[in-house]
């Protein structure tokens, strides 16, 4: 039996972008408000899972040819890397630095190394989430 | 800046992640993992020496001063354990190289061993009780994978039990932490000790202490060891040895920290309870070791006896008893690793697990047989091997403190240990062999090397006890006088 999923496919095409935008928003909001790498990562990961549910694994894999185990590993590497970075500056482990920068268009922007750490967390969450869902779906 | 203290945690984690990218380059994986563990051992040794000259060292993460931030603390006790744990892991890795098989190696075996050791190191080093919970979880998650890796039916059965019991224990740990934070409003171990001393250890705090006792007993296999023999007998030999040497010992470490530093005021209840539990543990462990028919069960029950014996030292609670317990703890880690490696190799060589069905191993493998003999003597506490000094110190203090029942149980257990292991020796090593010269499987060179190194460690720990004495005494002094620890963390009051 052929499943008719036109509505699902059409809706998902739009909804995925909304979810991705929300994920990115949550990620950046996390510095001073609810959100952050973990929650942002979960939302971003759920968008990827939604794509996998709607289209088959091969199609999505063509668009995103990542090994999500390695995405998770890269995330941990990024997070631990910023923590270790502090050792080389001879300040206590995990110390973070932050500064105000002036960018054209964006204006005054607060940038900190916490963001890199959080990006690592987000990548780890996305990688782990997608790996779990994929390994469940691969089961006979 | 004492950033070096955090290296035993962070180096294994980073290299474990790097190994994920090197999944198919097995040779490189082996080299990197071994170098990592060796490097951490060297760092631990340097730290141990520095602690002797500088006193207890600490690193406040991100510069948040205690009691507000998380910190790592290096004192002699924790550094001795980190050093021993990493040396044993290195030796178990050498054993694993020649025995674990390509299937495990491609399924991230080495990264998970490194995660395990990172969790173990973190648990030994942390000075914050919530962080202890986190490090426990890192270690346990890696151990879940290592138990189940291989996917055999019996492995999945035992790993399910193992995961469930540990999830329940972790949940109880969290509840105990919530109670503790609710009553004392702090999670820094030294600060908890100060607040407990200020408030006096009232019934509520004693209840919290007993909750922690239950949690750590589950992890250490003190009385609540029903999960241990099953889950320790299913994974590959190298993993069994790692578990036997490290996992229960982390629980023991947590018990020592909790009941020497934090909850010391109501010793008539808590320490009496530990003594009773240790006594019962030894008796039950002996019964298990005597009634066991297969080699792995006998070895697993020997772990339980060891746990009980070490905690007698905590129950007695004098400085010399702590020193004895530390000696015995280090000895037990090395000897149990060797025992499990040998037992696993016996199963591999004969294809049997029942003691009675093995015979004459010493004819084909004389060195292997005599190394078993050495570890047997060490576990029974025969001088000059490593188990002797710990037993003597704990025994002396038991006499002085009037703990005659524990003394009788503790030393009675030595005879049972000797009997249960001698039974294997007589049945499996002596006698005529039924395997012909052509059919015998060779012991891989790497495996043999790991036996020899561990056996040398046992002999060195016994003969060279004088050499590690200053470190052990310093560790025992810090345990007996928590003010030293508190002052190092919170500054002089």
Q: Is B399 in contact with B318 (CB distance < 8 Å)?
A: no
Residues 6+ away with beta carbon under 8 Å from B65:
none
Interchain pair A69, B20: CB under 8 A? yes
Q: CA of B12: which chain A residue's CA is closest? A: A80
Q: What is the 3-state secondary structure (H, E, C) of chain B?
A: CCHHHHHHHHHHHHHHHHHHHCCCCHHHHHHHHHHHHHHHHHHHHHHHHHHHHHCCEEEEHHHCCCCCCCEEEECHHHHHHHHHHHHHHHHHHHHHHHHCCHHHHHCCHHHHHHHHHHHHHHHHHECEHHHHHHHHHHHHHHHHHHHHCCCCHHHHHHHHHHHHHHHHHHHHHHHHHHHHHHHHCCCEHHHHHHHHHHHCCCHHHHHHHHHHHHHHHHHHCCCCCCCHHHHHCCCCHHHHHHHHHHHHHHHHHHHHHHHHHHCCCCHHHHHHHHHHHHHHHHHHHHHHHHHCCEHHHHHHHHHHHHHHHHHHHHHHCCHHHHHHHHHHHHHHHHHHHHHHHHHHHHHHHHCCCEHHHCCCHHHHCHHHHHHHHHHHHHHHCCCCCCHHHHHHHHHHHHHHHCCHHHHHHHHHHHHHHHHHHHHHHHHHHCCCCCCCCCCCCCCCHHHHHHHHHHHHHHHHHHHCHHHHHHHHHHHHHHHHCHHHHHHHHHCCC
Residue B493, pLDDT > 70, answer no
- Start-end of H helices in B203-318: 203-220, 228-232, 237-242, 248-257, 267-291, 295-316
ipTM value for the complex? 0.86
A1 has a pLDDT exceeding 70:
no
Task: State how far residue A134 is from chain B, nearest Cα, in angstroms.
Answer: 17
Burial class (CB in 10 A: 0-12, 13-18, 19+), A137: exposed
Inter-chain Cβ pairs, chain A and chain B, closer than 8 A: 44
Give the range of the structural domain holding residue A77, as residue numbers without chain letter. 6-138
Reported as a single tens digit per residue, the pLDDT across B3-51 is 899 999 999 999 999 998 888 899 999 999 999 999 999 999 999 999 9
Mutate to test the interface with B, among A92, A121, A127, A132 (most CBs of B within 10 A): A92
User: What number is the average pLDDT over the span B112-138?
Assistant: 95
**How distant is the Cα of B22 from the closest Cα of chain A, in angstroms?**
10
Q: Would you say how long chain A is, in residues? A: 140
Q: B477 falls in which pLDDT band (50, 70, 90)?
A: very high
Asked if residue A44 belongs to a domain, the reply is yes
- Is A83 inside any structural domain? yes
Q: Which two tokens stand for residue B357?
A: 């069905």
Residue A56 in any domain: the answer is yes
The verdict on a CB contact (< 8 Å) between B17 and A96 is no
pLDDT, residue A97, reads 81
Closest CA–CA distance from residue B49 to any residue of chain A (Å) = 21
For residue B74, list chain A residues with Cβ-Cβ distance below 8 A.
none
pLDDT bin (cut points 50, 70, 90) of residue B436 is: confident
Domain boundaries along the sequence of chain B: 3-490
A129 neighbors A69 (Cβ within 8 angstroms): no
Distance separating alpha carbons of residues B119 and B142, to the nearest angstrom: 8
pTM comes to: 0.93
Is pLDDT of A140 > 60? no
The tens digit of pLDDT for each residue in B274-322 reads 999 999 999 999 999 999 888 999 999 999 999 999 999 999 999 999 9
CB-closest option in A84, A87, A95 to B62: A95
* Cβ neighbours of B17 in A, within 8 Å: 73, 76-77, 80
- The number of distinct structural domains making up chain A is 1
pLDDT for A90 equals 83
CB B21 to CB A93 under 8 A? no
- Specify the pLDDT at position B1: 67
pLDDT at A76: 92
d(CA B336, CA B299): 8
pLDDT tens-digit profile of A58-110?
Answer: 888 888 888 888 999 999 999 999 888 888 888 888 888 888 778 777 777 77
Q: Provide the token pair at B449.
A: 């090397």
Sign of the four-CA dihedral B62, B64, B67, B69: negative
Which of the residues A73, A93, A132 would you substitute to probe the B interface, choosing the one with the greatest number of B C-beta atoms within 10 Å?
A93
Answer yes or no: is A1 within a domain: no
- In this structure, is the dihedral angle defined by the CA atoms of residues B275, B475, B485 and B14, taken in order, positive or negative? negative
Asked if B3 lies within 8 A of A76 by C-beta distance, the reply is no
How many whole angstroms from its chain centre is CA B280? 20
Cβ proximity of B372 and B336 under 8 Å? no
Q: Which residues pair with A109 in a beta bridge?
A: A101
pLDDT digits (tens, 9 = 90+) for B164-218: 999 999 999 999 999 999 999 999 999 999 999 998 888 889 999 999 999 999 9
Chain centre to alpha carbon of residue A129:
10
Task: Report pLDDT digits (tens) over B67-104.
Answer: 888 999 999 999 999 999 999 999 999 999 998 888 88
* pLDDT of the residue at B342: 94
């Amino acid at each position: 039996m052929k499943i008719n999923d036109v509505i699902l496919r059409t809706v998902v095409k739009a909804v995925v972008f909304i979810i991705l935008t929300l994920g990115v928003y949550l990620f950046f909001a996390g510095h001073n408000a609810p959100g952050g790498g973990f929650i942002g990562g979960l939302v971003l990961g759920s968008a990827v899972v939604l794509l996998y549910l709607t289209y088959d694994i091969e199609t999505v894999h063509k668009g995103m040819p990542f090994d999500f185990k390695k995405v998770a590993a890269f995330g941990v590497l990024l997070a631990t890397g910023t923590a270790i970075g502090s050792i080389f500056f001879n300040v206590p482990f995990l110390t973070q630095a932050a500064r105000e920068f002036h960018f054209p268009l964006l204006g005054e922007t607060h940038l900190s190394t916490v963001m890199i750490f959080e990006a690592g967390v987000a990548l780890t969450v996305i990688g782990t989430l997608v790996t779990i869902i994929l390994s469940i779906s691969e089961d006979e | 800046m004492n950033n070096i203290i955090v290296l035993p945690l962070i180096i294994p984690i980073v290299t474990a992640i790097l190994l994920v990218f090197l999944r198919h380059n097995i040779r490189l994986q082996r080299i990197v993992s071994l170098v990592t563990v060796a490097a951490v051992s060297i760092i631990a040794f340097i730290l141990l020496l520095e602690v002797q000259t500088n006193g207890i060292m600490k690193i406040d993460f991100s510069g948040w001063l205690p009691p507000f931030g998380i910190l790592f603390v290096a004192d002699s006790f924790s550094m001795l354990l980190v050093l021993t744990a990493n040396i044993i892991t290195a030796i178990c890795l050498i054993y694993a190289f020649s025995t674990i098989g390509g299937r495990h190696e491609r399924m991230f075996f080495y990264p998970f061993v490194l995660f395990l050791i990172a969790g173990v190191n973190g648990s030994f080093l942390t000075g914050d009780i919530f962080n202890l919970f986190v490090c426990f979880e890192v270690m346990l998650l890696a151990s879940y994978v290592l138990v189940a890796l291989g996917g055999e039916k019996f492995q999945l059965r035992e790993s399910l039990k193992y995961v469930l019991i540990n999830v329940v224990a972790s949940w109880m740990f969290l509840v105990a932490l919530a109670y503790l934070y609710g009553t004392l409003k702090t999670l820094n171990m030294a600060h908890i000790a100060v607040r407990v001393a200020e408030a006096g250890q009232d019934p509520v705090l004693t209840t919290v202490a007993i909750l922690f006792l239950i949690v750590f007993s589950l992890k250490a296999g003190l009385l609540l060891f029903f999960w241990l023999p099953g889950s320790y007998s299913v994974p590959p030999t190298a993993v069994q040895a790692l578990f036997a040497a490290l996992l229960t010992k982390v629980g023991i470490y947590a018990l020592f920290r909790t009941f020497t530093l934090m909850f010391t005021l109501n010793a008539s209840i808590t320490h009496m309870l530990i003594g009773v539990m240790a006594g019962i543990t030894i008796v039950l462990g002996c019964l298990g070791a005597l009634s066991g028919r297969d080699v792995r069960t006998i070895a697993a029950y020997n772990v339980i006896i060891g746990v009980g014996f070490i905690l007698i030292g905590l129950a007695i609670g004098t400085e010399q008893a702590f020193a004895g317990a530390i000696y015995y703890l280090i000895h037990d880690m090395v000897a149990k690793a060797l025992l499990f490696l040998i037992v696993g190799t016996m199963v591999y060589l004969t294809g049997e697990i029942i003691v009675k069905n093995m015979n004459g191993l010493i004819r084909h493998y004389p060195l292997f047989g005599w190394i078993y003999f050495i570890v047997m003597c060490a576990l029974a506490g025969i001088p000059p091997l490593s188990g002797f000094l710990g037993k003597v110190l704990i025994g002396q203090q038991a006499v002085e403190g009037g703990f005659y029942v524990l003394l009788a149980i503790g030393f009675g257990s030595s005879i049972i240990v000797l009997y249960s292991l001698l039974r294997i020796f007589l049945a499996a090593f002596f006698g005529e062999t039924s395997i012909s010269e052509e059919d015998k499987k060779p012991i891989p060179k790497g495996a043999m090397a790991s036996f020899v190194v561990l056996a040398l460690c046992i002999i060195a720990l016994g003969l060279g006890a004088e050499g590690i004495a200053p470190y052990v005494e310093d560790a025992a002094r810090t345990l007996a006088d928590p003010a030293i620890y508190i002052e190092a963390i919170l500054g002089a009051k």
